[in-house]
Amino acid sequence: MSAETIQQVLDFLRDSGVQRLDLTGGAPEMNPAFMRLVEEARDMGVHVIDRCNLTVLMEEDYRDMAAFLAAQQVEIVASMPCYLEENVDAQRGKGVFGQSIRALQLLNRLGYGTDEALLLNLVYNPQGINLPPPQQQLEQDYKEKLRRDYGILFNNLFTITNMPIKRFGSTLLSKGQFEEYMQLLKSTYNEKSLPAVMCRTTLSVDWQGYVYDCDFNQILGLPAGLSSGKVHLRDLAQTDFNGLDIAIMDHCYGCTAGMGSSCGGALV
């Protein structure tokens, strides 16, 4: 995301009164304007969330990043697909588990997980064609294991259903499991999740400043339902989003299956 687009994000925050900025990417901290974006958003009183891959915090060039995030009271949401080293390294690469553990310990030393202003949340995705297990029970297991084995404390575990799109969707297709997984999502449709699906309260902005109803639609290149074409953030400052359409397709069953799913975990 260019400095110009980042300025457009800040302008939108100021003009719209949006109160929450959720930053994601491969590693959003690596954008040269990341600190400016966070500082200016926090100066406006906006709550900032950093979806952090943890390992970036251990890179030589980003040694000051964890302290910066703590000083700005940025909420951290970090992927931790398992509390077992062999599973994490198998999924995300050799050595990733150890680096993630060291990063979590560093965040704990800065007050994350214990200071109520410094939220540290972890994310779990299931393996294979399963829905996530009950979030509360798994959170208890994670808390027990990470505390006992590594002295790590964190606030919440978010369980997130795998979406049948892009890499996971391709894997399902190549294994001949796509239809089976879609059937699972459809057969476990939970109407109670509908009021809380994240597209109702979130706008997803891509690196060029175009907006989508959610990150999944962004990945699919499905423009926000409020328009038939691509919409740019700079054209939306005065828009009232209440009652506007949301672009939905079959992948949306991933948000409404079982206990529901969003960037903040289960919905019901």
Residues forming the site for ligand SF4 (CB under 6 A): 197-199, 213-214, 216-217, 246, 248, 251-252, 255
CB-nearer residue toward ligand SF4: 146 or 198: 198
Q: In this structure, what token pair is assigned to residue 123?
A: 């994310």
CB-nearer residue toward ligand SF4: 35 or 226: 226
Provide, rounded to whole angstroms, the least separation between the CB of residue 198 and ligand SF4.
Answer: 5
Nearest C-alpha neighbor of 77 from the set 50, 106, 109, 47: 50
Q: How far apart are CA 206 and CA 222, in angstroms?
A: 12
Identify residue 101 by its one-letter amino acid code.
I
CB-nearer residue toward ligand SF4: 82 or 252: 252
CB-nearer residue toward ligand SF4: 121 or 217: 217
CB-nearer residue toward ligand SF4: 30 or 246: 246
Q: How far apart are CA 204 and CA 174, in angstroms?
A: 29
Provide, rounded to whole angstroms, the least separation between the CB of residue 91 and ligand SF4.
Answer: 23
Identify residue 184 by its one-letter amino acid code.
L
Strand order in the sheet with 47-52: 20-23, 47-52, 75-79, 120-124, 156-159
Q: How far apart are CA 267 and CA 262, in angstroms?
A: 7
CB < 8 Å & 24+ apart, contacts of 70-73 = 70/107, 70/110, 70/111, 70/112, 70/118, 72/38, 72/39, 72/42, 72/48, 73/42, 73/117, 73/118
CB-nearer residue toward ligand SF4: 53 or 217: 217
Q: In this structure, what token pair is assigned to residue 68?
A: 């910066």
CB-nearer residue toward ligand SF4: 104 or 199: 199
